[in-house]
Amino acid sequence: MFELILTIIAICFFPLLLWMMIASISVKTTYNRYSTVEAQSGLTAQEAARKILDANGLINVRIESCPGMLTDHYDPRVNTVYLSQATISSKSLAAIGVAAHEVGHAIQHAEDYAPVKMRTALVPVVNFTSRLITPLMLMGLIFELIAYTVNFLSAIFFMAALICYGAYALFTFITLPCEYNASKRARVQLAECSILTDEELEAAKKVLSSAAKTYLVSFFISLAQVARILLLLLGTRRRR
């Protein structure tokens, strides 16, 4: 029964990749749609972010520009909200929504939001293990093909890959509440600080919701990968 469940999850891997592609397209489409609609407040994304930060007593959090589009993020190591070049000076609903979301992460760190603390602690682990997954999987498959007598070696590599990908799956799982909570905080702050009207908030919500789906799909994909590696590991053990 356990193996059947793993098989079903593993089979979903490729449909999930397709879903991820669709979700990514949806993010860009939704962002582009509302990137041409300016907020009635006349504030830029940077000004809106600054207003929310100051309203929450986070006057020490800096706002700086970073290259690219939709590369916006908050870096707790330097206590800085980075807004992309396409976002920082824009007065659009999409840009303001994205900026407010990143400020939501800054508020999370200021309040010691538990999932964020766990996610931050996992970052160095995931950065290290993510580089090992592919070579470990390749070595496992190579030993699997060479000869039956070295099945135990392939099992070792698959087990190591399972641990590495398991860490990544845990990271994507913990990321979910961080992202959804940041979006929720963004909507609340945009309303309380009178940055967007009720109608404009609905548009910003669509932008944030489409982005959140990519994190959800990413978690499901990582889960499917764990199932695939487990099946390979069970296969080697069965032949030993």
Hey, what are 198's tokens?
């009720």
Cβ-count burial 55-75 (b if 16+ within 10 Å, e if not): ebebeebebeebeeeeebebb
Catalytic-role residue among 102, 144, 179, 200: 102
Please give the single-letter amino acid code of residue 183.
Answer: S
Catalytic annotation present for 202: no
Q: How far apart are CA 63 and CA 77, in angstroms?
A: 14
- The residues near 128 (Cβ < 8 Å, ≥ 6 apart) are none
Strand 80-84 with 73-75, pairing: antiparallel
Q: How far apart are CA 74 and CA 17, in angstroms?
A: 27
Q: How far apart are CA 136 and CA 153, in angstroms?
A: 11
Give the residue numbers marked as catalytic: 102
